[in-house]
Amino acid sequence: MTDKPTNTLTEEQAAAEAAKLRPQLLAWGKQYYDADAPSVEDDVYDRVYARLVALEEAFPAIVTPESPTQRVGGSVRGDLPKVAHTIPMLSLGDVFSLAELSEFNDRLRANVDEDFDYNCELKIDGLAISLRYENGKFVQGSTRGNGQIGEDITANLKMIPSIPQTLSRPLTIDVRGECYMPKAAFLALNERREAAGQAPFANPRNAAAGSLRQLDTQVTADRQLATFMYNIADYEPLNTRTQSGLLDELAELGFTTNPAYRVAHTMDEVWAYIDTYQAQRSNLPYGIDGIVIKANSLPLQRAIGATVKVPRWAIAYKFPPEEVQTVVENIEWTVGRTGIVTPTAVMDPVVLAGSTVARASLHNPDYLQAKDIRLGDTVLLHKAGDIIPEISQVVGDKRPADAEVYPIPTRCPSCGAELVHLDEEVALRCINPNCPAQLAEGMNHFASRNAMNIAGLGPQIVAQLFARKLVTNVASLYRLTTDQLLTLDKFGEKSAQNLLTAIDNSRNNSLERLLFGLGIRHVGAKAARSLAANFGDLNSLMAADSETIAAIDTIGGIIADSVVTYFDSEPVQALMKELATVGVNLTYTSGPSEPVDPLGTFANQRVVLTGKLNELTRPEATTWLEQHGATVTGSVSKKTDLLIAGEAAGSKLTKAQSLNIPIWDEAQLLAAMNENK
């Protein structure tokens, strides 16, 4: 791409440059829209795309039908059913400066005879979706696709709590909006993916897109997606005739809309809105990449119309990327509890998006090699999705002359064992079960709140225990003495006694805490509870085969195989014997082994609790229901027999109503409890 002004080019030169840009943009677009795995940052794509637009506007004769400027979004996946949009789903034109935004305003006002206001909205960094309702019932949902044809993702969209299954009025409408992944959910998802040896998602937008286009709806359900709806294909069924009123009416119908919109009467007010949210973007719980400015009058929008790709009545102001330069001083390799070895760039500290950053994960060897990051390199640093510090690229002309390609380690930095790739993972692993780093990380997990809950046993103390050879595995925690703890830094009699008391108390935990604390691959807290409740004790679980375990509701084959593989290991079997020897409880004690009233009111019923309970805690209600024959689950489905709704019940209540599931309030539950005393 050249920087020559278009007015200095001949048509032949412009055509030659455009011919080079189109295949690059198409390739990047396929990675972004179809594979949900972009290889360049958004601003790089935007800059090249803007250049192609400028060339084609200056020389209309060079425009080709296959040009990215003539397309909307991505292609349509072959493994998902297709949906034809009755009214096309268009993308938005982009501007990147106040001058370009003013040009849009001047152009629009020159073609409109009446005065009008704008509605300013946050540009959510997610995936465009369309929701079809007939007589108030949700019947179909789809992606934008290429603007004319999208992908049918109805089943996945039904897994998202913020999408109502039934509207407050029996309307037949097509509502458009954005599906996104909150920042906290994105961080948690990438942590799980890296722990499993999978490549992390580049940003929340691609994570949301990848989640929605799954063929397994449970994957979508587990990823905590959310939505903001902001448009309607045809506004005639509604009472409002303004964009700002549309957002209010959509909220009344049951949709989630973003409240941070503002009607602007002048361009100064538009720019003030942009300034406000450009400064606040890093503090929002979701990602935004700009501001959308729309003519507020819906009839005016219809009158102004659209081009083949974009509406003429709206524009997106894209935030400039916040990037800083820094120098890579070192690359550290750390070993996680599952043996995954992760590279981290250690850099000169810089202030980025309001915080000081000196480290950035390089995820895995493939990522490091693809970016070609070397010691001493000057790099551009940004926050992916406004969250995670990430190196976007190396500044090539600042590379030291003696910089060498960084060698990928072949030995574990902790124990020296050979590193391997398992099952074609991108991750590099140490598979030595006695690796000190893995043992230390495993002990940190073992002591964590949702596992054995050993208060006061943090990473720094664990590191000292291993360094002084006071522990070798989790069972050896239960043999620690006061004299041994007094050798640790900043430990006195009281702190030593407090830690020993916490360790001793953990012996009595129910089996599910131990199972979760052992760090068995794919076994989270919920799966651990199901396993413990079904088998009752550790020996019964260890003796079970994969088929028996997989038959448990919510477990399945992957978890079952992982459990069997784990307990088939001789070192693990030895550890279990050692835990028994030191007095750790190996039975399920969170609930009675048999219900108090297995044939009572709730026998064989699937019950869901939602909302805030005033007289009971959620665990108290769950325990009582289970003791009286119920199976308490976390989500509403056709198999649910009863929903118990407290105050501020949300999407679960809505879904239960749409499925005609019986609904109780807390008073009805308390009455049932009194009757069964």
The 3-class secondary structure across 13-69, one letter per residue, is HHHHHHHHHHHHHHHHHHHHHHCCCCCCCHHHHHHHHHHHHHHHHHCHHHCCCCCHH
Q: How far apart are CA 614 and CA 625, in angstroms?
A: 17
Q: What pLDDT, on a 0 to 100 scale, did the predictor assign at position 41?
A: 66
Report the topology of domain 606-675: Rossmann fold (3.40.50)
Calculate what percentage of the chain has a pLDDT beyond 90: 41
Q: Is the domain defined by 324-420 classed in CATH 2.40.50.140? A: yes
Q: Which of 168-172, 318-322, 478-482, 516-520 has the lowest mean pLDDT?
A: 318-322
Per domain, the residue ranges of the chain are: 6-70, 82-318, 324-420, 436-581, 606-675
Architecture of domain 82-318: 2-Layer Sandwich (3.30)
- DSSP letters, 594-639, are S-SSTTSTTTT-EEEEESB-SSS-HHHHHHHHHHTT-EEESS--TT
Helix (H) or strand (E) holding 671, with range, is helix 666-675
pLDDT tens digits for 51-85? 887 888 788 788 887 777 766 555 544 567 888 88
Q: What pLDDT, on a 0 to 100 scale, did the predictor assign at position 593?
A: 43
Q: What pLDDT, on a 0 to 100 scale, did the predictor assign at position 32?
A: 63
Q: What pLDDT, on a 0 to 100 scale, did the predictor assign at position 615?
A: 78
Q: Which of 1-15, 254-268, 362-376, 632-646 has the lowest mean pLDDT?
A: 1-15
With bands split at pLDDT 50, 70 and 90, how would you rate the model's confidence at 35? Answer: low
Q: What pLDDT, on a 0 to 100 scale, did the predictor assign at position 315?
A: 96
Q: Which of 89-93, 638-642, 655-659 has the lowest mean pLDDT?
A: 655-659
Q: How many residues does the chain have?
A: 677
Q: How far apart are CA 223 and CA 247, in angstroms?
A: 26
With bands split at pLDDT 50, 70 and 90, how would you rate the model's confidence at 583? Answer: very high
Q: What pLDDT, on a 0 to 100 scale, did the predictor assign at position 13?
A: 84
Count of alpha carbons within 13 angstroms of residue 487, beta-carbon side? 11
pLDDT mean over 542-563: 87
Q: What pLDDT, on a 0 to 100 scale, did the predictor assign at position 599?
A: 56
Specify the pairing of strand 606-610 against strand 642-645: parallel
Q: pLDDT: is 655 or 414 the higher one?
A: 414
Architecture of domain 6-70: Orthogonal Bundle (1.10)
Specify the pairing of strand 663-664 against strand 642-645: parallel
With bands split at pLDDT 50, 70 and 90, how would you rate the model's confidence at 2? Answer: low
pLDDT tens digits for 490-508? 899 999 999 999 999 999 9
Query: Model pTM?
Result: 0.57
CA 677 to chain centroid, in Å, comes to: 44
pLDDT tens digits for 84-140? 888 888 889 999 889 999 999 999 999 898 899 999 999 998 899 999 999 999 999
Helix (H) or strand (E) holding 100, with range, is helix 98-110
**Residue numbers annotated as active site:** 123
Q: Which residue has the tokens 């003539």?
A: 70
pLDDT mean over 333-358: 86
pLDDT tens digits for 186-222? 888 888 877 777 778 877 888 888 888 777 777 787 8
pLDDT tens digits for 454-492? 988 989 999 999 989 999 899 999 999 999 999 999 899
User: Which spans in 417-509 are helix H?
Assistant: 436-447, 459-467, 482-485, 493-506
Calculate what percentage of the chain has a pLDDT beyond 70: 93
For residue 1, pLDDT over 70 is answered with no
pLDDT mean over 497-526: 91
Q: Which of 36-40, 540-544, 588-592, 599-603 has the lowest mean pLDDT?
A: 36-40
* 517 CB burial (10 A radius; 0-12, 13-18, 19+): buried
Token reading at 404: 């060498």
With bands split at pLDDT 50, 70 and 90, how would you rate the model's confidence at 584? Answer: very high
Token reading at 320: 């400039």
pLDDT tens digits for 370-417? 899 999 999 999 877 667 788 988 999 999 999 999 999 999 998 888
* 558 CB burial (10 A radius; 0-12, 13-18, 19+): exposed
Token reading at 285: 């719980």
Within 10 A of 373 (CB to CB), how many other CB atoms are there?
Answer: 22
Q: How far apart are CA 426 and CA 422, in angstroms?
A: 8
Mean pLDDT of the chain: 86
Reported CATH class of domain 436-581: mainly alpha
- DSSP letters, 141-170, are EEE-TTSSEEEB-HHHHTT-TTS-SB-SS-
Contact 175, 255 (CB under 8 A): yes
Q: How far apart are CA 425 and CA 446, in angstroms?
A: 25
501: left (phi over 0), alpha (psi -120 to 50) or beta: alpha
Q: How far apart are CA 433 and CA 415, in angstroms?
A: 10
pLDDT mean over 295-308: 92
Q: pLDDT: is 229 or 38 the higher one?
A: 229
Specify the pairing of strand 314-318 against strand 94-95: parallel
pLDDT mean over 220-231: 89
Using only C-alpha atoms, the chain has a radius of gyration, in whole angstroms, of: 29
For residue 305, pLDDT over 50 is answered with yes
